[in-house]
């Protein structure tokens, strides 16, 4: 083992190696116990192991130079260090502490061991990337926690004018509406989206635009819903910022996990049943919904083929929110259809809270 000559530098290296390992452990445990994300947890654990290997060159000697009682910084605390508002602040602080510690290790290791400094530099860049992944998971939009019934508005699926149908769906209990018009050209879609958003705002419900983050931003909607073939949620998040809602359609558990990593605020889970609105050659069904209910921490709503007659099967899977189209918009009594679904969903949600 090569030796470092300066005991002061060794104390500094020891302190920052400890800081870096501790910060990695905080982030790793967040991925493990809060996100239940095995892949992300594994990446953080691997980095922690690589840091241990790269610091072997000085760590044993540095520990011998440790002087905790004589460290003038031990009692030097700010008020912010002694409290954290929530999990997000805990994990964010750990990410920043990690970067700072690695930078100190890298710079001071250059004095006696440039090759070790190079290894730590590579680790630092990897940590910047993983800090971004973790940051995307920290602040899901709280409004989606309250949504039980989302109604998809497509003019061709409405028996009456779409605005009338949308209003009646809200009056029946829909807490979220999604404008889903795949065939309209951009100019007409934007004009309709502006009307849609204004109507949702008047009634205090969440407004989501399907597929089009550009239209969502221009119309001032609350959020956008993305399919698996659309732009990745992580890229959309860079553009729309932290305050807009992003939903992602998912069909198996790895897509759900990736949606969480990408910063989605909620996911669609399905197809639960066969659907005449959007026919598919596969059914994800109740088994996938049960996986989501057991593992995924962000809000999830079942979709496809759901009606008042079969919604109890959805509720049995553990999910407490649904997205529907023709089951509401294709009925003569839109308000009553929405109200019946909402009543069942609300009872199941309230019963779950009492357990």
| 249 has catalytic annotation | yes
Domain boundary, last residue among 136, 163, 195: 136
For residues 148 and 97, state if they share a domain. Answer: no
Does residue 155 sit in the same domain as residue 64? no
Identified catalytic residue from 278, 290, 343, 346 = 278
3-state SS class at 248: strand
Is residue 151 a part of any domain in this protein? Answer: yes
What is the distance between the alpha carbons of residues 236 and 238, in angstroms, rounded to a whole number? Answer: 5
pLDDT in tens, 127-153: 999 999 999 998 777 899 999 999 999
* Residue 180 bears catalytic tag: yes
The C-alpha torsion from 160 through 166 and 167 to 169, rounded to 10°, is 100
Residues 191 and 329 in one domain: yes
Please tell me the distance from the alpha carbon of residue 69 to that of residue 260, in angstroms, as a whole number: 43
Q: Using one digit for the tens of pLDDT, what is the confidence trace for 189-226?
A: 999 999 999 999 999 999 999 999 999 999 999 999 99
Q: Which domain holds residue 99?
A: 7-136
Single out the residue in 136, 158, 193 at which a domain terminates.
136
Q: Is the pTM of this model over 0.85?
A: yes
Number of domains, the chain? 2
| Nearest one of 168, 149, 172 to 159, comparing CA atoms | 168
In a domain, 255, yes or no: yes
The one catalytic residue in 19, 97, 237, 249 is 249
Q: Residue 247's beta-bridge partner residues?
A: 225, 266
Which residues are within 8 A (CB) of 157 and not within 5 positions of it... i.e. 6 or more apart?
277, 325, 326, 329, 330
Is 110 a known active-site residue?
no
Give the pLDDT confidence score for residue 355 in this predicted structure: 62
What's residue 354's pLDDT? 67
Tokens of 98: 């990690």
- Mean pLDDT for 43-51 is 97
pLDDT(3) > 70:
no
Average pLDDT, the chain: 93
Half-sphere CA count of 127, side-chain side, radius 13 A: 30
Q: Which of 85, 119, 136 is the last residue of a domain?
A: 136
More confident residue, 288 or 36: 288
Query: Which of 97, 180, 237, 244 is an active site residue?
Result: 180
The CATH number given to whatever domain includes residue 92 is 1.20.1260
2 within a domain of the structure (yes/no): no
Give 48-71 pLDDT, tens digit per residue.
999 999 999 999 999 999 988 888
Contacts of residue 58, Cβ cutoff 8 Å, sequence gap at least 6: 4, 10, 13, 109, 112, 113, 116
Residues 189 and 329 in one domain: yes
Q: Are 70 and 168 contained in the same domain?
A: no
């Amino acid at each position: 083992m090569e030796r470092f000559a300066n005991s002061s530098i060794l104390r500094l290296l020891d302190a920052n190696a400890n800081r870096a390992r501790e910060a990695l452990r905080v982030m790793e445990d967040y991925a493990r116990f809060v996100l239940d994300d095995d892949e992300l947890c594994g990446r953080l654990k691997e980095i922690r192991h690589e840091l241990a290997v790269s610091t072997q060159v000085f760590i044993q000697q540095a520990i011998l130079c440790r002087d905790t009682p004589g460290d003038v910084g031990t009692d030097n605390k700010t008020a912010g260090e002694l409290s954290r508002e929530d999990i997000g602040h805990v994990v964010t602080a750990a990410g920043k502490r990690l970067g700072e510690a690695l930078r100190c290790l890298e710079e001071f290791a250059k004095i006696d061991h440039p090759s070790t400094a190079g290894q730590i530099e590579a680790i630092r860049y990897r940590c910047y990337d993983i800090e971004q992944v973790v940051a995307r998971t920290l602040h899901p939009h709280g409004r989606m926690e309250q949504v039980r019934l989302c109604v998809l508005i497509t003019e061709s699926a409405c028996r009456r004018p779409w605005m009338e149908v949308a209003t009646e769906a809200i009056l029946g209990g829909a807490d979220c509406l999604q404008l889903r018009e795949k065939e309209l050209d951009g100019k007409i879609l934007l004009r309709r989206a502006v009307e849609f958003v204004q109507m949702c705002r008047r009634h205090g419900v969440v407004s989501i635009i399907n597929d089009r983050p550009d239209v969502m931003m221009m119309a001032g909607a609350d959020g956008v819903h993305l399919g698996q073939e659309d732009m990745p949620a992580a890229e959309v998040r860079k553009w729309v910022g932290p305050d807009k809602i992003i939903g992602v359609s998912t069909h198996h558990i790895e897509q759900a996990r990736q949606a969480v990593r990408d910063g989605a605020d909620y996911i669609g889970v399905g197809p639960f049943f066969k659907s005449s609105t959007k026919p598919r050659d596969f059914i994800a069904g109740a088994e996938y919904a049960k996986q989501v209910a057991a593992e995924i921490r962000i809000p999830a709503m079942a979709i496809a083929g759901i009606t008042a007659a079969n919604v109890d099967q959805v509720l049995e899977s553990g999910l407490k929110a649904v997205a529907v189209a023709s089951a509401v918009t294709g009925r003569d009594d839109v308000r009553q259809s929405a109200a019946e679904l909402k009543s069942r969903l609300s009872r199941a949600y309230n019963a779950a809270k009492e357990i």
